[in-house]
A and B are shown apart, each in its own frame.
Chain A
Amino acid sequence: DAGVIQSPRHEVTEMGQEVTLRCKPISGHDYLFWYRQTMMRGLELLIYFNNNVPIDDSGMPEDRFSAKMPNASFSTLKIQPSEPRDSAVYFCASSLGRGLGETQYFGPGTRLTVL
């Protein structure tokens, strides 16, 4: 398996523009997670899905952020409108089940810069 795939790897945009980040989880994994990593706040969980259904979105910073998972092999994280403080590395991760100790497999991340 190719692992978790994210695109784009780098995104530079201007404030106010819409940004869409994409993720393909590992085939067969039924949990998908979106994280954001910054120097100031570390690695933060934004939202996670189970069988394509959003379970907990309490980490989503505000209404400008939205995430969807239309099928088991694809998820998007959208920011509209984007702001400079959204600049960060966004990781997608997937896992097989949510039992105690399930390992999360992370993608390479998308480095977002909002000017």
Chain B
Amino acid sequence: SQKIEQNSEALNIQEGKTATLTCNYTNYSPAYLQWYRQDPGRGPVFLLLIRENEKEKRKERLKVTFDTTLKQSLFHITASQPADSATYLCALDPSAGKSTFGDGTTLTVKP
């Protein structure tokens, strides 16, 4: 069956360090993958999209990689700040299907 796994429910890092979040999937052949941010009491907010033929995508302090061989995406936040503390969700949208979200990783950046 199709499955998405995001690394450990919680990730704690020190301000200024790079946070790395992982999204692994099985039994999928996604055409693209998205990352969302969700703050408590709010709906998810889109951050980045990466397509299957792209290895890497950047936006300001954010970087996403997509390895279709390993069936994995890595989401990096460089020079992390306490304001980056939130839950981050990955979402797969197979070309013939509908979006499926991972359970999310809660990131806490400590000052």
Contact = CB atoms under 8 A, between A and B. Distances in A.
A and B are interacting partners: yes
Contact of B43 (A42, A101, A107): A107
A4 B45 CA distance: 12
Contacts, number: 45
A27 B79 CA distance: 37
Contacts of B98: 45, 48, 56
B56 interface: no
B25 interface: no
Given A45-B99, A91-B43, A108-B42, A101 B104 contact: no
A104 B46 contact: yes
Interface residues of A, number: 18
Size class of the B contact interface (CB-based, 8 Å): 20 to 34
A33 B46 CA distance: 15
Interface of B: 31-32, 34, 41-46, 49, 51, 89, 93, 95, 98-104
15 contacts: A4-B43, A42-B103, A43-B89, A45-B98, A45-B99, A93-B43, A100-B31, A100-B32, A101-B49, A101-B51, A101-B93, A106-B43, A106-B44, A107-B43, A109-B41
